[in-house]
Chains A and B, each alone.
Chain A
Amino acid sequence: DVKVTQSSRYLVKRTGEKVFLECVQDMDHENMFWYRQDPGLGLRLIYFSYDVKMKEKGDIPEGYSVSREKKERFSLILESASTNQTSMYLCASSFRGVEQFFGPGTRLTVL
């Protein structure tokens, strides 16, 4: 079974802090994604990566950056967290764009 794990289920940070969200997949997938999920807005793509060190902006990249130094790991970085970044963050991976496998999510609260 494909497994996508995220470093934390719940995270509380203060405004202005630098926040790292980590995602690891164990199936050698090329593609990895970061989404945020908010009530009434569905899943919105922040960034995705189609290979190591390769990344592409999604629909809402402002305020975020990403890093992919190893194939299995994809990190989402909030350079200076703000309250409007309070959300559920979901990581996913896929092999050449077919089925995406999602992690359990990280619920981030920025105070």
Chain B
Amino acid sequence: QQPVQSPQAVILREGEDAVINCSSSKALYSVHWYRQKHGEAPVFLMILLKGGEQKGHDKISASFNEKKQQSSLYLTASQLSYSGTYFCGTDLTGTASKLTFGTGTRLQVTL
């Protein structure tokens, strides 16, 4: 089953913050975040492993709560370049190979 992402879409002004959530009904081994800009291929952002760690990538960070089977992506001081669709991919098997992706969150950053 696909994880549920929320919100489905969000519009921000440059400099504002946003949080994207990813929630699964099944136990997760890891969560992978990708961003896809319009007309381009998805690009890997980061992987969150079991242990509740938090990772960062520039001003984008994420957390993973394995007890709640949830991950959140935090975009701080958003830039125009952050616009795109964000997908979480959940690892249900422990292999980190086969991922089940969410339906995506479309983020638009405006001036």
Contact = CB atoms under 8 A, between A and B. Distances in A.
Interface in B51-76: none
Interface residues of A, number: 26
A57 B91 CA distance: 15
Instruction: Give the most central of B91, B95, B99: most A CB within 10 Å.
Output: B99
- Identify whether the interface residues of A are mostly helix, strand, loop, or mixed: strand
Contacts of B34: 100
Contacts of A96: 96-97
A98 B47 contact: yes
Interface string B77-111: 00000000001010100011111111110000000
Interface of A: 4, 31, 35, 40-45, 48, 50, 56, 58-59, 90, 94, 96-105
